[in-house]
Protein backbone atom coordinates (compact mmCIF):
# COMPACT_ATOMS: atom_id res chain seq x y z
CA UNK A 1 0.00 0.00 0.00
CA UNK A 2 1.27 3.48 -0.81
CA UNK A 3 2.49 5.49 2.18
CA UNK A 4 -0.01 8.29 1.52
CA UNK A 5 -2.84 5.81 2.04
CA UNK A 6 -4.92 7.45 -0.70
CA UNK A 7 -4.96 4.66 -3.24
CA UNK A 8 -6.17 1.15 -2.67
CA UNK A 9 -6.00 -1.14 -5.67
CA UNK A 10 -7.68 -4.50 -5.75
CA UNK A 11 -7.49 -6.40 -8.98
CA UNK A 12 -8.29 -10.01 -9.59
CA UNK A 13 -7.17 -11.99 -12.60
CA UNK A 14 -8.42 -15.46 -13.41
CA UNK A 15 -5.39 -16.14 -15.49
CA UNK A 16 -3.17 -19.09 -16.38
CA UNK A 17 0.06 -17.30 -17.18
CA UNK A 18 1.94 -18.53 -20.29
CA UNK A 19 5.68 -19.08 -19.88
CA UNK A 20 6.57 -16.00 -21.99
CA UNK A 21 4.62 -13.66 -19.69
CA UNK A 22 6.23 -12.65 -16.41
CA UNK A 23 4.55 -11.30 -13.29
CA UNK A 24 5.56 -7.82 -12.18
CA UNK A 25 5.05 -6.61 -8.59
CA UNK A 26 4.12 -2.94 -8.17
CA UNK A 27 3.81 -2.31 -4.41
CA UNK A 28 0.73 -4.34 -3.44
CA UNK A 29 -0.56 -4.78 -7.00
CA UNK A 30 0.22 -7.70 -9.30
CA UNK A 31 0.31 -7.00 -13.01
CA UNK A 32 1.32 -9.09 -15.98
CA UNK A 33 3.81 -8.06 -18.61
CA UNK A 34 3.66 -9.61 -22.05
CA UNK A 35 1.36 -10.00 -25.01
CA UNK A 36 -1.26 -12.34 -23.54
CA UNK A 37 -4.52 -10.89 -22.20
CA UNK A 38 -5.94 -11.94 -18.86
CA UNK A 39 -9.27 -13.74 -19.43
CA UNK A 40 -10.94 -11.86 -16.57
CA UNK A 41 -9.88 -8.49 -15.21
CA UNK A 42 -11.69 -6.65 -12.43
CA UNK A 43 -10.69 -3.25 -11.11
CA UNK A 44 -12.64 -2.09 -8.09
CA UNK A 45 -12.56 0.75 -5.56
CA UNK A 46 -9.66 2.69 -7.09
CA UNK A 47 -9.01 6.37 -6.51
CA UNK A 48 -6.92 7.72 -9.38
CA UNK A 49 -5.89 11.35 -9.72
CA UNK A 50 -3.29 13.61 -11.29
CA UNK A 51 -2.60 11.34 -14.30
CA UNK A 52 -1.25 12.41 -17.68
CA UNK A 53 -3.67 11.23 -20.36
CA UNK A 54 -5.26 8.04 -18.99
CA UNK A 55 -6.74 7.64 -15.55
CA UNK A 56 -7.62 3.94 -15.92
CA UNK A 57 -6.66 2.01 -19.06
CA UNK A 58 -7.50 -1.69 -18.92
CA UNK A 59 -7.65 -4.46 -21.53
CA UNK A 60 -8.63 -8.10 -21.25
CA UNK A 61 -11.13 -10.65 -22.46
CA UNK A 62 -13.73 -9.89 -19.79
CA UNK A 63 -13.19 -6.47 -18.18
CA UNK A 64 -15.04 -4.93 -15.23
CA UNK A 65 -14.31 -1.47 -13.79
CA UNK A 66 -16.47 -0.86 -10.73
CA UNK A 67 -16.77 1.82 -8.03
CA UNK A 68 -13.67 3.77 -9.06
CA UNK A 69 -13.06 7.53 -8.83
CA UNK A 70 -10.93 9.30 -11.42
CA UNK A 71 -10.14 12.96 -10.73
CA UNK A 72 -7.92 15.70 -12.13
CA UNK A 73 -6.59 13.78 -15.12
CA UNK A 74 -5.17 15.32 -18.29
CA UNK A 75 -1.88 16.97 -17.46
CA UNK A 76 -0.39 17.13 -20.96
CA UNK A 77 1.62 19.97 -22.49
CA UNK A 78 -0.25 22.51 -24.56
CA UNK A 79 -0.43 21.73 -28.27
CA UNK A 80 0.00 17.96 -27.90
CA UNK A 81 -2.87 16.40 -29.90
CA UNK A 82 -3.91 13.35 -27.91
CA UNK A 83 -7.04 11.88 -26.33
CA UNK A 84 -7.39 12.17 -22.56
CA UNK A 85 -9.48 9.41 -20.99
CA UNK A 86 -10.81 9.09 -17.48
CA UNK A 87 -11.59 5.38 -18.02
CA UNK A 88 -10.66 3.43 -21.15
CA UNK A 89 -11.84 -0.20 -20.97
CA UNK A 90 -11.34 -2.65 -23.86
CA UNK A 91 -12.07 -6.36 -24.16
CA UNK A 92 -14.31 -9.09 -25.51
CA UNK A 93 -16.97 -7.98 -23.04
CA UNK A 94 -16.77 -4.87 -20.88
CA UNK A 95 -18.72 -3.63 -17.85
CA UNK A 96 -18.18 -0.15 -16.38
CA UNK A 97 -20.34 0.37 -13.31
CA UNK A 98 -20.76 2.91 -10.52
CA UNK A 99 -17.71 5.06 -11.30
CA UNK A 100 -17.14 8.80 -10.93
CA UNK A 101 -15.04 10.72 -13.45
CA UNK A 102 -14.54 14.37 -12.48
CA UNK A 103 -12.35 17.16 -13.78
CA UNK A 104 -10.54 16.07 -16.92
CA UNK A 105 -8.32 18.92 -18.07
CA UNK A 106 -6.78 20.11 -21.31
CA UNK A 107 -3.92 22.53 -21.78
CA UNK A 108 -5.05 22.91 -25.40
CA UNK A 109 -5.10 20.43 -28.27
CA UNK A 110 -6.43 17.44 -26.34
CA UNK A 111 -9.75 15.62 -26.79
CA UNK A 112 -11.36 14.90 -23.41
CA UNK A 113 -13.35 11.66 -23.00
CA UNK A 114 -14.59 10.61 -19.58
CA UNK A 115 -15.49 6.93 -20.20
CA UNK A 116 -14.88 4.94 -23.37
CA UNK A 117 -15.54 1.23 -23.85
CA UNK A 118 -14.71 -1.09 -26.70
CA UNK A 119 -15.97 -4.66 -26.45
CA UNK A 120 -16.14 -7.01 -29.43
CA UNK A 121 -19.20 -8.74 -27.91
CA UNK A 122 -20.44 -5.58 -26.28
CA UNK A 123 -20.33 -3.27 -23.31
CA UNK A 124 -22.56 -2.41 -20.40
CA UNK A 125 -22.17 1.04 -18.86
CA UNK A 126 -24.38 1.58 -15.82
CA UNK A 127 -24.68 4.02 -12.93
CA UNK A 128 -21.70 6.26 -13.68
CA UNK A 129 -21.28 9.99 -12.98
CA UNK A 130 -19.35 12.30 -15.30
CA UNK A 131 -18.71 16.04 -14.83
CA UNK A 132 -16.01 18.58 -15.47
CA UNK A 133 -15.46 22.32 -15.39
CA UNK A 134 -13.89 22.06 -18.87
CA UNK A 135 -16.27 20.92 -21.60
CA UNK A 136 -15.56 17.29 -22.49
CA UNK A 137 -15.84 16.14 -26.10
CA UNK A 138 -17.74 13.07 -24.90
CA UNK A 139 -19.01 11.93 -21.53
CA UNK A 140 -19.55 8.23 -22.32
CA UNK A 141 -18.63 6.50 -25.59
CA UNK A 142 -19.52 2.90 -26.42
CA UNK A 143 -17.18 2.45 -29.34
CA UNK A 144 -17.75 -1.00 -30.83
CA UNK A 145 -19.34 -4.39 -30.22
CA UNK A 146 -22.52 -6.19 -31.11
CA UNK A 147 -24.58 -5.63 -27.94
CA UNK A 148 -24.13 -2.40 -25.98
CA UNK A 149 -26.23 -1.03 -23.13
CA UNK A 150 -26.12 2.21 -21.14
CA UNK A 151 -28.45 2.80 -18.18
CA UNK A 152 -28.75 5.13 -15.19
CA UNK A 153 -25.75 7.34 -16.03
CA UNK A 154 -25.48 11.03 -15.11
CA UNK A 155 -23.43 13.16 -17.54
CA UNK A 156 -22.77 16.91 -17.47
CA UNK A 157 -20.73 19.48 -19.41
CA UNK A 158 -19.95 17.59 -22.63
CA UNK A 159 -20.24 18.25 -26.33
CA UNK A 160 -21.89 14.79 -26.55
CA UNK A 161 -23.25 13.19 -23.38
CA UNK A 162 -23.70 9.55 -24.45
CA UNK A 163 -22.47 8.25 -27.81
CA UNK A 164 -22.69 4.92 -29.59
CA UNK A 165 -19.80 5.45 -32.02
CA UNK A 166 -18.05 3.66 -34.87
CA UNK A 167 -21.29 1.92 -35.89
CA UNK A 168 -21.80 0.32 -32.47
CA UNK A 169 -25.42 -0.76 -31.99
CA UNK A 170 -26.97 -0.43 -28.58
CA UNK A 171 -29.81 0.62 -26.34
CA UNK A 172 -30.00 3.19 -23.58
CA UNK A 173 -32.48 4.24 -20.91
CA UNK A 174 -32.81 6.30 -17.73
CA UNK A 175 -29.73 8.45 -18.41
CA UNK A 176 -29.57 12.13 -17.42
CA UNK A 177 -27.54 14.83 -19.15
CA UNK A 178 -27.00 18.52 -18.37
CA UNK A 179 -25.13 21.18 -20.39
CA UNK A 180 -24.46 18.79 -23.28
CA UNK A 181 -24.79 20.26 -26.80
CA UNK A 182 -25.84 16.80 -28.03
CA UNK A 183 -27.31 14.72 -25.23
CA UNK A 184 -27.41 11.35 -27.07
CA UNK A 185 -25.87 10.14 -30.34
CA UNK A 186 -26.47 6.75 -31.98
CA UNK A 187 -28.08 3.81 -30.25
CA UNK A 188 -31.79 3.34 -29.57
CA UNK A 189 -33.64 4.99 -26.69
CA UNK A 190 -35.83 2.40 -24.92
CA UNK A 191 -36.91 4.37 -21.85
CA UNK A 192 -36.83 7.81 -20.34
CA UNK A 193 -33.70 9.87 -20.99
CA UNK A 194 -33.23 13.59 -20.54
Residues 6+ apart with CB under 8 A from 112: 74, 83, 84, 104, 105, 106, 132, 134, 135, 136, 137, 138
**Confidence grade of residue 22 (pLDDT, cut at 50, 70, 90):** very low
The answer to whether residues 135 and 154 touch, using CB atoms and an 8 Å cutoff, is no
pLDDT in tens, 87-107: 999 998 999 999 999 988 877
CA dihedral angle for residue 50, residue 72, residue 101, residue 111, rounded to 10 degrees: -100
Can you tell me the mean pLDDT for 11-23?
43
More confident residue, 173 or 53: 173
pLDDT in tens, 34-93: 545 557 788 999 999 888 788 899 988 899 999 999 998 777 666 666 788 899 999 989
Residues 6+ apart with CB under 8 A from 145: 94, 117, 118, 119, 120, 121, 122, 123, 168, 170
Q: Could you tell me the residue ranges of all domains in the chain?
A: 38-189
Amino acid sequence: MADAGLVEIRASHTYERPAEVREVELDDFSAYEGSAEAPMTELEDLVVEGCGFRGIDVQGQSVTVRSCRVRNTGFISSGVAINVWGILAQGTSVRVEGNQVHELTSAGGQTLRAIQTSGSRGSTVVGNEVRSTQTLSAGIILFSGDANFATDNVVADCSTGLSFANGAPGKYRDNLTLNCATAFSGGTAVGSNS
